Structure 1
Amino acid sequence: MHLSLTLQSALMIPSNSKAQPSQQFPGNPEGFTLSPSDVPTSGTIATRRLVSTHTSLALAGIIGGISLGILAVWLLVARTRKLKENAASAGTSESSPLLVQYQAPLNLQTYTAKLENDILLCSTCAKLDFYRILLYGIHELEPIPLGSLSSIFERSYQCSFCRLISLYVRRTRIMEDFPHIDLSEIECGVHTTLCGALRRGPHPPLRYGRRLYITGNGLWQTHPAFRALGPLLIHLMQEDASKFGRPVDLHGRRVKNTVDVGLVKKWIKLCEENHGDKCRNVWRMDRNMPEFVRVVDVVSMAVIPAPSHRFRHVALSYVWGGNGAEYWTTKDNIAKRSIPGGLNAANLPDTITDSISFVRQLGERYIWIDALCIIQDDLQDKISQLHAMDSVYGLSYFTLIAAGGKTARDPLPGCRPRTRTPQIHIEVVQGLHLFVTPPTHEKALGMSAWITRCWTYQESALSCRRIYFTGQEVYFECRCQVFCESIVAESKADFCRSFLRHSREEYFPFSTDSFWSYKYAVERCTRRNLTVESDIVDALTGVTNALVVAFRLGDPARAFQYGMMLTELHQALLWQHDPLTPRTRRSLAEGSNSSWPSWAWATWCGAVVYMSRSVYRQTRVTGYSSEVSVDETLVDAWYIVDHGGGIVPLDVQKVSRVYWIEEEQPPYSSPGRTLDPTAMPLDTHRPLKPGTLIFCTTSSHFAITRRGGESNEESSPADHYGLFNILSATTSPTWVGTVILPLNPAPPSSIEFIVLSRCDGAHGFYDEESIKPYRGCLLHVMGVSENEGLMERVGLGIIHIVAWVASTPEEKMVFLR
């Protein structure tokens, strides 16, 4: 206000006052006066008035500039003194980012602009020097306090920085969904984190870009709404990178209402030209597309057989969201759709038409879309096509992923105008353009319907390059890089320390261990939903076929059955139900004449977890994944009943690690009998069902009791499985092992167990006062129930070898259904 009044008075000339002798103009420090002789005559009044006005205005401008300079210097001195007082009271040095330091001569124009920008900040944020904070950084252990979240909300109407924070919180919908949460209990602070680098080699620390990281205590860290959205990170826009002498790498970029096709082309080209085989041949596939596979020709608009020679195609992954009989390819319309122009885009849903249009804009010609390329009412065609998914997605140039919609009728966001609203809100803070970082593509996908569908898992896992369309922006991901529209992250190098990258743990981290790759896929796939429960095996067939090719496992039909990896059966059998999933058999397809076997995870609904033996130490089952341990296979030969009723030997890899075992410990003895399928006593009136496993092992009964008692205080009402202690078969029973069993219905007091394999022993698995631990002292056992000579799996556990041998087990030929 003072500045405004000064300028106003300096430029003011009274228009209705008469000039008096020796009258001095207001705001004239040099005392310029008018005498009576200076009063103009009527003939010259117009000219003199004009000259006088111009002269006065010029003097007023000079005077105003000097006044502004004096005011700016005064404000600078006052502000510096105040900041020093704040720094002293906060226990910081004068080099603190809270304090402005000017090492160059003062630029009045620049500083005046900064003062005007500070007007847009609250008193708390105006104390911060955001330039210095982003230049030098703030350690995460010493965040600068910003006050409570409720006070930030109150200040957001007048403060541009607080507005960025409140915008993030409003995205969580926490205030609408949880109106009774007290935001005043959440204290916020700010520190910085590095963005990373796109160029290999050492750089001066100041060359690394920094982001502002907003922290909070209490509910900020624990409430699911905040955790789902991820950390609050505030970025600098690319136009301000030069102010810090940095390249635009990993700075913000404005997102348009429609996708920048040229940018997407650049991403694909960078990957193709610079990443080599890392992104070209993920699954070690060296073959053509099967001849029976069809593709959509986006130029001729026809569904055609895949060209016989090597060709480039795109694949689409999306959510059907219901029946699509009106646009599916069927026996009735396949002939018409096979001729040029036979595929009418007007009859197709938006996701499909937009995908065809986008592929055409990228200059590609062929796209595979399941609803159009599979004859939906031809079962044989559907089966053959589904068994080619490893080729369709594994050999694709890239895969378009429609993660922004819930059905095929939703548009591909950003492909056409008004189909998306980018959430890039930019605020100017002390002359710097800042914006809240949009969700990473992990978080964006985590909020989508697409990621909840089981079918879409393998479609993404098999693809070497993925282009995700979300409601906010488009993301590109390959095995080396992640790009998005809102961050400048393009680099020719396969090296990258970008914050955009992640471990792909939700997809398929390719491993040199075939079983580890398999278990990872099973655990991820079974977390997702299916409309038709019996599709579970088909929805993973593409991945299992790819594993067969990558690890040379032979015939896919012999390597995998019922979703189980038969070549590593001794490990594959060690799956557990997720503790929050009830034990419910999966509904099979209509017309199926045989149920799936109990030993296969695919038989049961819900998530599956492979756990390490450490789970048996706990007081309740927790569903975290870990590496299973098998140190010796104790079943010499495995057989399975095929769909024709024949008994077929399985090629199961054997494991045997040599242990030094103390002499006083009784060794475990495998069954001495040799399994002869031709001599098996088969009941001709009750033939064995397909999927029955046949093998020889030892069997014994043990009493069990719930760990922690029937009212285990540490258990949760949501738990469907519990830990049960296995008790020795002695007059004074002791704890000799542990088994995980379903809680409903309650298990019997005694269970029959059969031996599967050996694992290393450690502390905490049994009563060590009664039994001595040693290496290799534990057995993997399966709890079973028997009915008319057929066994079914009930649970899985471990038991000490000494206790097993002491129970005098019997040899058995097991028929496991």
Structure 2
Amino acid sequence: MLSEKVGMSLDIQVMASDAPIFGRSPDVHGRVVNGIVDLDLVKEWLQICGRHHKDACETVWWRDGDERLPESVRMVDVDALSIVPAPPSCRYIALSYVWGGVGEEYQSMQANIVHRMTPGGLDLGILPATITDAIELCRRLGERWLWIDALCIVQDDRTDVDVQIGVMELIYGTAFLTIFAAGGHNAHAGLPGLRERTRAKKQHMEMIQDVHLAVPLPTLGAVLTQSVWGTRGWTYQELMLSRRRLYFTEHQVYFECGQEVWCEDVLAESNRTPRSYHPLRYTGGGSFTTLKAPRGHTGNQLTSGYTSVIGQYTQRILTNETDTVNAVSALTNAFTKAFKLGGSVPSRAFRFGMALADLDHAVLWQPAQSVLLTRRNILGQAPWPSWSWAGWRGPVEYRVPWSTALGHPIVVESLVHSWYICEHGTLAKLDVRAIAGVGFPEEGSRKRYVPPSERTDPEQAPHASEGDLVFRTTAATFKAQRIDGVQVNEDARYEVFAILPAAGRIYLPRSTRSPSDLRLITLSRCNAVAGLYDTQVYGDMYSGGCFLNVMAVQESEQRKLERIGIGIIFEQAWIEANPSEEQVCLG
């Protein structure tokens, strides 16, 4: 039964067939989950969405107008069993699944693509179960066109791979429906419940006093969290960008769109039940899939959306490290379009996965507490820069580790006038959105920090290489010391250190020697909570951003700086340290 409408959760379900015993409508009661998926129910979900949700599930917030798939995109014709150029304005289904290292024999290659593009050229006998099931499902749903990455992208053609990755936002964001094979470890797992004996009965039912009761199956969000599919890097953007989603899991089939979440074991399709009482509300796959723009602190939607995406994406696993940026590029392309960044050119808006327009916030990522980050070195390539999260192996977050406040770090003023990036041996100025300070006046003898004026000189960056940031700022040396008496999780690989003398906080590897000399450079102005510095030495906090975001750096063998960690320091402590003005080359 529904455990009080304010709770919106199901503890024990009365089956819909017994609802009349209590004089109740069958709506929001249990439904029997059989061994085979009822595809008529799936069709009903799609029809309800199409009839009642209209533009809410047709349009996407990040794209203006009717942008079509480019001619380079291919589809599987499930009727002709061939791969064909995507027909103009075709309604198609996309597949999201775990590859799982099942081999290359079924993939499209330069050697077989021409044959596969002839009628009957796609041999079902060599395709793994997930793909053959997806083809069969499309047929039974009455749909003809299906997009599957392993078949529609020529895997050994680097040019084709790059082109298709570049339009992945369109491929998943335009699909009429995406099938998510979330029930197995690899492409051989199939779609549980599509065929006989492909899923075990998970629903537990009992009869008590002639009433059929059932324990609800897990929510969609819980199932995805525990699935192998939910741990993979590529599947994250496929989930986030899809408008309608049909999930095949070992428990049951779930449907999610921009307005609703439905599943086999709850009869909840009736529009007679107010959405606020819906037991499946808020149990779906992800916040980005609401198809609405991210809600930002003080209206900063780019910052809140970007930091949320990176925080979730970096928790996932990639088989190939070279995919680190590519596997989230569909989402960064969506941000490029939504906020018209870099002239709507993704390569100008994002570099190494970092939002260049919002660089003051983007550089403030912090490592997750439980995993020690290590530098990412890709065979045959120069190391990706340390200033980007993509240059490190491991999960990162945008949070303030020395504060109980929720949300991403807030920058109240930019302190770097101009940022440059090394491209093809020359320095190119970045179009970074400057955050103007409030302009509070100096009070009495208290001075405000004044950043260096713009005098970046390309000739003074002889050691800059591809991807290095070059900018003018100030630098000073402080000591970092472990904070006594602070309880730290035994599994933690990072902890908060004090910047001495009692001047601020910084997040460093737990193994850092204490005390330790740190070279710090200033990045931006911010606010913070009380208790992070010695007020008897530096005075009380004041308005207008009395803390500075700083980065701890060290010099590399190439005579440029590398990131160690991010911290904050009280402004007066920084001024009293007499920092030196420097042109920084940050790799």
- The structure-2 alpha-carbon separation of the partners of 1:452 and 1:415, relative to structure 1 and needing over 3 Å to count, comes to same
Counterpart in the other structure of 1:591: 380
Alignment of 1:525 with 2:313, yes or no, is yes
Counterpart in the other structure of 2:509: 742
Alignment of 1:653 with 2:452, yes or no, is no
Counterpart in the other structure of 2:298: none
How far did 1:193 drift? 3.4
TM-score between the two structures when normalised by the length of structure 2: 0.93
Counterpart in the other structure of 2:5: 194
Alignment of 1:276 with 2:82, yes or no, is no
Tell me, yes or no, if the aligned pair for 2:504 and 2:533 is still in contact at 8 Å: yes
Deviations 1:732-773 (A, max 9, x none): xxx011111123453772111111000124311111222221
Deviations 1:514-556 (A, max 9, x none): 1211111111111111111221111100100111112211210
> In structure 1, what is the Cα distance between the partners aligned to 2:422 and 2:284?
38
Counterpart in the other structure of 2:167: 388
* 1:707 aligned partner, one-letter code: I
Counterpart in the other structure of 1:420: 199
* 1:580 aligned partner, one-letter code: S
* 1:806 aligned partner, one-letter code: E
How far did 1:492 drift? 4.5
- The structure-2 alpha-carbon separation of the partners of 1:748 and 1:333, relative to structure 1 and needing over 3 Å to count, comes to farther
Alignment of 1:79-90 (within 5 A): none
How far did 1:661 drift? 4.5
Tell me, yes or no, if the aligned pair for 1:506 and 1:524 is still in contact at 8 Å: no
> In structure 1, what is the Cα distance between the partners aligned to 2:285 and 2:117?
40
Counterpart in the other structure of 1:563: 353
Alignment of 1:604 with 2:392, yes or no, is yes
Which secondary structure does the structure 1 equivalent of 2:80 belong to?
Answer: coil
- The structure-2 alpha-carbon separation of the partners of 1:541 and 1:437, relative to structure 1 and needing over 3 Å to count, comes to same
Counterpart in the other structure of 1:514: 302
> In structure 1, what is the Cα distance between the partners aligned to 2:70 and 2:345?
17
> In structure 2, what is the Cα distance between the partners aligned to 1:235 and 1:494?
16
* 2:421 aligned partner, one-letter code: I
Bigger Cα displacement from structure 2, 739-748 vs 416-425: 739-748
Structure 1 residue corresponding to 2:578, chosen from 791, 808, 811: 808
Which secondary structure does the structure 1 equivalent of 2:275 belong to?
Answer: coil
Alignment of 1:457 with 2:226, yes or no, is no
How far did 1:565 drift? 0.6
Counterpart in the other structure of 1:765: 532
Alignment of 1:616 with 2:402, yes or no, is yes
Alignment of 1:526-565 (within 5 A): 526-553=314-341, 554-565=344-355
Q: Which has the higher strand share?
A: 2
- The structure-2 alpha-carbon separation of the partners of 1:487 and 1:673, relative to structure 1 and needing over 3 Å to count, comes to closer
Alignment of 1:90-239 (within 5 A): 192-194=3-5, 211=10, 233-239=11-17
Tell me, yes or no, if the aligned pair for 1:575 and 1:610 is still in contact at 8 Å: yes
> In structure 1, what is the Cα distance between the partners aligned to 2:123 and 2:294?
44
Counterpart in the other structure of 2:518: 751
Alignment of 1:727-738 (within 5 A): 727-728=500-501, 735-738=502-505
* 1:784 aligned partner, one-letter code: V
How far did 1:801 drift? 0.7
What is the number of residues matched between the two proteins? 570
- Structure 1: which 5+ runs fail to align? 1-133, 138-191, 198-209, 212-232, 619-623, 729-734
* 2:523 aligned partner, one-letter code: L
Deviations 1:414-469 (A, max 9, x none): 11111112322321111211011111111122221110111100011010111000
How far did 1:316 drift? 0.3
Counterpart in the other structure of 1:786: 555
- The structure-2 alpha-carbon separation of the partners of 1:481 and 1:617, relative to structure 1 and needing over 3 Å to count, comes to closer
Counterpart in the other structure of 1:723: 496
- The structure-2 alpha-carbon separation of the partners of 1:646 and 1:323, relative to structure 1 and needing over 3 Å to count, comes to farther
Tell me, yes or no, if the aligned pair for 1:289 and 1:391 is still in contact at 8 Å: yes
- The structure-2 alpha-carbon separation of the partners of 1:279 and 1:660, relative to structure 1 and needing over 3 Å to count, comes to same
Alignment of 1:672 with 2:462, yes or no, is no
Alignment of 1:698 with 2:466, yes or no, is no
> In structure 1, what is the Cα distance between the partners aligned to 2:354 and 2:498?
28
Deviations 1:462-495 (A, max 9, x none): 1011100011210000121000011111134896
- Structure 2: which 5+ runs fail to align? 296-300
Tell me, yes or no, if the aligned pair for 1:752 and 1:785 is still in contact at 8 Å: yes
Tell me, yes or no, if the aligned pair for 1:534 and 1:586 is still in contact at 8 Å: no
> In structure 2, what is the Cα distance between the partners aligned to 1:706 and 1:816?
26
Alignment of 1:266-665 (within 5 A): 266-285=44-63, 286-307=66-87, 309-492=88-271, 496-497=275-276, 498-502=278-282, 506-508=286-288, 510-512=293-295, 513-553=301-341, 554-588=344-378, 590-592=379-381, 594-612=382-400, 615-617=401-403, 626-642=407-423, 644-664=424-444, 665=446
> In structure 1, what is the Cα distance between the partners aligned to 2:514 and 2:107?
48
> In structure 1, what is the Cα distance between the partners aligned to 2:134 and 2:273?
28
> In structure 2, what is the Cα distance between the partners aligned to 1:744 and 1:609?
20
> In structure 2, what is the Cα distance between the partners aligned to 1:312 and 1:796?
47
- The structure-2 alpha-carbon separation of the partners of 1:591 and 1:310, relative to structure 1 and needing over 3 Å to count, comes to same
CA RMSD of aligned residues (A): 2.0
Tell me, yes or no, if the aligned pair for 1:761 and 1:773 is still in contact at 8 Å: no
How far did 1:383 drift? 1.3
Alignment of 1:241 with 2:27, yes or no, is no
> In structure 1, what is the Cα distance between the partners aligned to 2:166 and 2:48?
32
- The structure-2 alpha-carbon separation of the partners of 1:329 and 1:748, relative to structure 1 and needing over 3 Å to count, comes to farther
* 1:719 aligned partner, one-letter code: A
Deviations 1:191-227 (A, max 9, x none): x433889xxxxxxxxxxxx95xxxxxxxxxxxxxxxx
> In structure 2, what is the Cα distance between the partners aligned to 1:568 and 1:398?
33
- The structure-2 alpha-carbon separation of the partners of 1:495 and 1:332, relative to structure 1 and needing over 3 Å to count, comes to farther
- The structure-2 alpha-carbon separation of the partners of 1:384 and 1:555, relative to structure 1 and needing over 3 Å to count, comes to same
Tell me, yes or no, if the aligned pair for 1:474 and 1:484 is still in contact at 8 Å: yes
TM-score between the two structures when normalised by the length of structure 1: 0.67
Q: Which has the higher helix share?
A: 1
